[in-house]
Amino acid sequence: MNVAVMKTKAEQAISESFEAAAEKLPGTDVVRERRAQAIGAFSSLGLPHRRIEEWKYTDLRANVKEIFPAALDDAMPLTIAELIVALGPLAHVDAHRIVFVNGHHRAGLGDFADAAGFEVAALGELLATATEDVSADLVSTPEGGDAVETLNTAFVTDGAVVRVTEGASASKPLLIVFVRTGGSASSVAVRNFVTVEDGASATVIEAHVVLPGAAQDAQLNALTEVTVGNNAALHHAKVAVDEGKALHLTSCDVTLSADATYRNFQFSAGLGLARNGLNVIFEGEGGKIDLSGGYLARRAEHIDTTLVVDHAVPRCESRELFKGVLEDHGRGVFQGKIIVRPDAQKTDGKQMSQALMLSEDAEFDSKPELEIYADDVVCGHGTTVAELDPDLLFYCRSRGIPEKEARALMIESFIGEAIEKVENEQLRGALASYATQWLGRSSGR
């Protein structure tokens, strides 16, 4: 079918951007080779479009019109005070941190040298010194990776490489911060590795934030690879808050060993066009995951959450709850697939996706999917779409709460049900503040 599809302007620009950047991207010859292969693979794949089932509702070929130059230097200054402004409510979360500015590690802003239980390094620095083998592992496209992950391989500059050592219980979370600053439009590709060794446990928060005044035109491609060992636990959160224009493509690939626990919360607000991809595979029995998230979209923002949970082995449990609030022309997309492989008996999988529509022009598309090849399973999914319940509004108003406040209260409670899933209290508080801020800026009705 795909005979000589015309390349779009953006696809052409990606190839050109790679040629311009190739020399300056970090890594040894083997890395260079990987990058060249990746851009070659991308040329034949092109940007994902609506005819590719997984991208049915988020057509990058149609929506990505131009490509900004890759951010190759880390010259933009950023003070601690500015970092705190960019972090907003997240600054109140007590955590060790590693900071990247425009896709490059900024050692002076970090605080992870004495992070108990963690071994933390920056990918860019590792690439400069690592052996060929290690480099090759760090810069490869995950198996089954799509065009977006392939592009990440081609352009990745930096990211956090985190290890939680065997048996360690890291009490303080690690905050991986990606800050955007500076006045020119740019494109950033980063990659993180989080490995939790057997019996260890930790909390890792990935934050994508913007210093007020920075260019709103931006493109981000972030890939996080997570491995959770036997009996290990990871609480993972990704918080992305932007100003309504940026392209935000993130993927997270998670592998769980036996009796491992993984929790992930995704918070998105103000993202122009976003794809939050999350793939989890159970490789050992007795694994448990809880994936949840809240997203807020207004103006013409578009937030896509795409999950694949692969129950490849027996006796694993998955829980998913995603809630979105859509205003103006805001569009939410939810695709959630649960696969239960043959012999993955005693699988317990449940999923719920809900959207609250605040304005006539909002749109929500949902495709929850069950693919089940084992019989002794309990699986289910649910989707609801609705506007604010007029009976509830009336009830609140009959108790004296003005309409605007009643609406805010109900929206907060709607998104709050998802935020409740976050275990770290300070993070929960920070997310609630983000939601309140967002509502404060709401045009209301």
Partner 1 sequence: MLEIKNLHVKLADEDREILKGLSLTVPKGEVHAIMGPNGSGKSTLAYVLAGRDGYEVTDGDILWNGESIIDMEPDERAAKGVFLAFQYPMEIPGVAGLTFLRTALNAVRKKRGEAELTTPAFLKLVKEKGQKLNIDVDMLKRPVNVGFSGGEKKRSEILQMALLEPTLCVLDETDSGLDIDALRVVSEGVNALRDKERAFVVITHYQRLLNYIVPDKVHVLADGRIQKTGGKELALELEKSGYAEYTHKAA
Partner 2 sequence: MAAVQETIDQVRKIDVDQYKYGFETLIDSITAPKGLDESTVRFISAKKGEPEWLLNWRLEAFTRWKAMTEPTWAKVHYPKIDFQDLYYYSAPKSTEGPKSLAEVDPELLETYKKLGIPLKEQEVLAGVQGSRVAVDAVFDSVSVVTTFKDELKKAGVIFCSISEAVREHPELVKKYLGSVVPQSDNFYASLNSAVFSDGSFVYVPPGVRCPMELSTYFRINAKQTGQFERTLIIADRGAYVSYLEGCTAPMRDEHQLHAAVVELVALDEAEIKYSTVQNWYPGDAQGKGGVYNFVTKRGDCRGHHSKISWTQVETGSAITWKYPSCILRGDYSRGEFYSIAVSNGYQQVDSGTKMIHLGKNSSSRIISKGIAAGYSQNTYRGLVSAHRKATNVRNFTNCDSLLIGDKCGAHTVPYIEAKNSSAHFEHEATTSKISDDMLFYCRQRGLSSEEAVALVVNGFVRDVLQQLPMEFMAESQKLIGISLEGSVG
Chain residues in the site for partner 2 (CB under 8 A): 53, 326, 342-343, 345, 355, 357-387
Question: Cβ distance 324 to 354 under 8 Å?
Answer: yes
The nearer residue to partner 1, 212 or 402, going by C-beta atoms, is 402
Judged by beta carbon, residue 149 or residue 327, the one nearer partner 2 is: 327
**59, containing H or E segment:** none
Partner whose footprint covers residue 440, from partner 1, partner 2, none (CB < 5 to 8 Å by kind): none
Residue 45, classed as helix, strand or coil, is: helix
* For the chain, the helix, strand and coil percentages under 3-state DSSP, each to the nearest 5: 25, 40, 35
CB of 310 to partner 2, least distance (A): 14
CB 407 within 8 A of CB 444: yes
Q: Considering beta carbons, is residue 377 or 418 the nearer one to partner 2?
A: 377
Distance CA 243, CA 213 (A): 10
Are 250 and 277 in contact, with CB atoms under 8 Å apart?
yes
**3-state DSSP assignment of residue 19:** helix
Is the Cβ of residue 364 or residue 438 nearer to partner 2 in the bound state? 364
Minimum CB separation from partner 2 for residue 4, in Å? 17
Q: Report the partner that residue 371 touches, choosing among partner 2, partner 1, none (CB closer than 5 to 8 A by kind).
A: partner 2
Give the one entry of partner 2, partner 1, none that residue 403 binds, where binding means its C-beta sits below a cut-off of 5 to 8 angstroms depending on kind. partner 1
Task: Give 108-168 as a DSSP string.
Answer: GG-B-TT-TTEEEEEHHHHHHH--HHHHHHHS-PPTT--HHHHHHHHH--B-EEEEE-TT-
| Cβ at position 9, least distance to partner 1 in Å | 45
User: Alpha-carbon distance 124 to 421, whole Å?
Assistant: 33
Quick one: tokens of 232?
A: 């290990």
The whole-angstrom separation of Cα 421 and Cα 382 is: 18
Residue 395 contact among partner 2, partner 1, none, beta carbon within 5 to 8 Å by kind: partner 1
Q: In terms of CB distance, is 1 or 4 closer to partner 2? A: 1
For 57, phi then psi, to 5°, come to -100, -5
94 binds, among partner 1, partner 2, none (CB under 5 to 8 A by kind): none
Our CB check for partner 2 shows the closer of 22 and 52 to be 52
Residue 409 interacts with which of partner 2, partner 1, none, CB < 5 to 8 Å by class: partner 1
Q: Please name which of 396, 323, 328, 397 lies closest in space to residue 354, comparing C-alpha atoms.
A: 323
Binding partner of 132, given partner 2, partner 1, none, CB within 5-8 angstroms per partner class: none
- Which of partner 1, partner 2, none has residue 166 at its interface (CB below 5 to 8 Å by kind)? none
Give ∠ CA 200-307-190 in degrees, rounded to 5: 65
Q: Is the CB of 350 or the CB of 397 nearer to partner 1?
A: 397
Question: What does 373 bind: partner 1, partner 2, none (CB cut-off 5 to 8 Å by kind)?
Answer: partner 2
Shortest CB 418 distance to partner 1, Å: 9
Shortest separation between residue 102's beta carbon and partner 2, angstroms:
37
Local structure of 171: helix, strand or coil: coil
What is the b/e burial string over 283-296, where b = at least 16 CB atoms within 10 angstroms of the residue's CB? bbebbbbbbbbbbb
Closest CB 362 distance from partner 1, rounded Å: 20
Which CB sits closer to partner 1, 144 or 390? 390
Tell me the closest approach of the beta carbon of residue 70 to partner 1, in angstroms: 43
Point out which residues bind partner 1 (CB under 8 A): 390-392, 394-403, 405-406, 409-410, 412-414, 416-417, 420
Least distance CB 275 / partner 2 (angstroms): 18
Residue 136 has φ and ψ, to the nearest 5°, of -65, -35
CB of 334 to partner 1, least distance (A): 19
Name the residue type at position 186.
S
Tell me whether residue 273 or residue 358 sits nearer to partner 2 (CB atom): 358
